[in-house]
């Protein structure tokens, strides 16, 4: 995108190593400590960076906010970069994912304001409905614990499988109680699920990756998550203690403005839903 720094997979891998080393004692660059400089926000390309760039190009200058957007194509580096101060905030995740990440990696990231929901959907290049899935079909699902559980809950809610009672946000295929079509599950990195559609019978795809792959959740999904009472809204997040950064407060206000809601409604036509 025009106003964001695009990171390659190789750079991301090197960045994770660098971030890990800096967390072990190297002072490094801390863009979050100088509140007079630009606010650097790590974001997934679609729709997060697109929404941030709309703010940057149309709203930030008037609000006195110097905003810089960095795009990341994975779900790990934005949090590790926020933790060590390489960026001042991030915008890409939901609460169950963040809770799991903080617990497993010892990070201290906290939400600031919820902006939107991207409904998770089941897609296929081979069948036109979930009912048409054949016995023994292979379904790709995200392999991170929260999104895998979310994918399985979507299939459960639509009668494709039945999960065991009481299954939470760490459900895996081993927690399936009934699998009437003997479906096989292929666990992939979330970003890879739309790319797998030619190789599997169907795939559960996160909303942002669906949009990047030119899938239209509102019309292309065989089954789609309901927005009602949905806990998976995506939010602006910072390292604990940085919530009162005046730059963060300005961005939070802009991200929940009427202008941003109209931008989301007009651009995504129901594939992304404003949560404010």
Q: What counts of helices (H) and strands (E) characterise the chain?
A: 10, 14
d(CA 276, CA 273): 9
Reported as a single tens digit per residue, the pLDDT across 35-91 is: 889 999 999 999 999 999 999 999 999 999 999 999 999 999 999 999 999 999 999
Q: For residue 111, how many C-alpha atoms fall within 13 Å in the half-sphere facing its CB?
A: 16
Reported as a single tens digit per residue, the pLDDT across 247-263 is: 999 999 999 999 999 99
Which of 274, 235, 270, 276 has the alpha carbon at shortest distance from 121?
270
With a threshold of 0.85, does the pTM exceed it? no
Query: Are the C-beta atoms of 4 and 71 separated by less than 8 Å?
Result: yes
d(CA 56, CA 66): 8
d(CA 131, CA 163): 18
> Which token pair is 186?
């292929």
pLDDT in tens, the chain (276 residues): 433 333 333 333 334 433 333 333 333 345 555 688 999 999 999 999 999 999 999 999 999 999 999 999 999 999 999 999 999 999 999 999 999 999 999 999 999 999 999 889 999 999 999 999 999 999 999 998 889 999 999 999 999 999 999 998 889 999 999 999 999 999 999 999 999 999 999 999 998 899 889 998 889 999 999 877 788 899 999 999 999 999 999 999 999 999 999 999 999 988 898 998
Local structure of 134: helix, strand or coil: coil
d(CA 43, CA 50): 9
The CB density around residue 261, as the number of other CB atoms within 10 Å, is 17
| pLDDT at 211 (0 to 100) | 87
3-state helix, strand, coil in the chain (%, to 5): 40, 20, 40
Element (H, E) at 250: helix 246-255
Q: Residue 126: phi, psi to the nearest 5?
A: -115, -25
d(CA 147, CA 92): 13
| pLDDT at 30 (0 to 100) | 53
Element (H, E) at 204: strand 202-205
């Amino acid at each position: 995108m025009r106003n964001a720094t695009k990171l390659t997979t190789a750079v991301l891998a090197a960045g994770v190593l660098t971030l890990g080393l800096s967390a072990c004692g190297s002072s490094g660059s801390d863009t979050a400590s100088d509140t007079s400089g630009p606010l650097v926000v790590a974001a997934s390309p679609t729709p997060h960076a697109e929404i941030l760039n709309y703010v940057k190009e149309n709203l930030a200058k008037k609000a006195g906010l110097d905003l810089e957007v960095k795009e990341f194509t994975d779900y790990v580096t934005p949090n590790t970069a926020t933790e060590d101060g390489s960026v001042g905030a991030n915008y890409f995740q939901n609460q169950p994912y963040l809770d799991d990440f903080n617990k497993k990696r010892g990070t201290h990231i906290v939400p600031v304001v919820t902006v939107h929901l991207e409904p998770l959907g089941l897609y296929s290049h081979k069948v036109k409905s979930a009912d048409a899935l054949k016995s023994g079909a292979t379904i790709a699902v995200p392999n991170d614990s929260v999104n895998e559980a979310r994918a399985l809950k979507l299939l459960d809610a639509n009668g494709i499988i039945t999960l065991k009672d009481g299954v939470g946000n760490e459900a895996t295929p081993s927690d399936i109680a009934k699998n009437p079509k003997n479906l096989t599950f292929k666990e992939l990195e979330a970003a890879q699920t739309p790319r797998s559609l030619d190789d599997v019978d169907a795939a559960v795809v996160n909303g942002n990756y669906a949009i990047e792959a030119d899938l239209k959740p509102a019309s292309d999904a065989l089954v789609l998550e309901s927005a009602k009472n949905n806990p998976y809204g995506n939010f602006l997040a910072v390292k604990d203690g940085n919530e009162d950064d005046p730059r963060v407060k300005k961005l939070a206000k802009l991200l929940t403005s009427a202008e941003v809601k109209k931008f989301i409604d007009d651009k995504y036509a129901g594939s992304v839903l404003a949560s404010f």
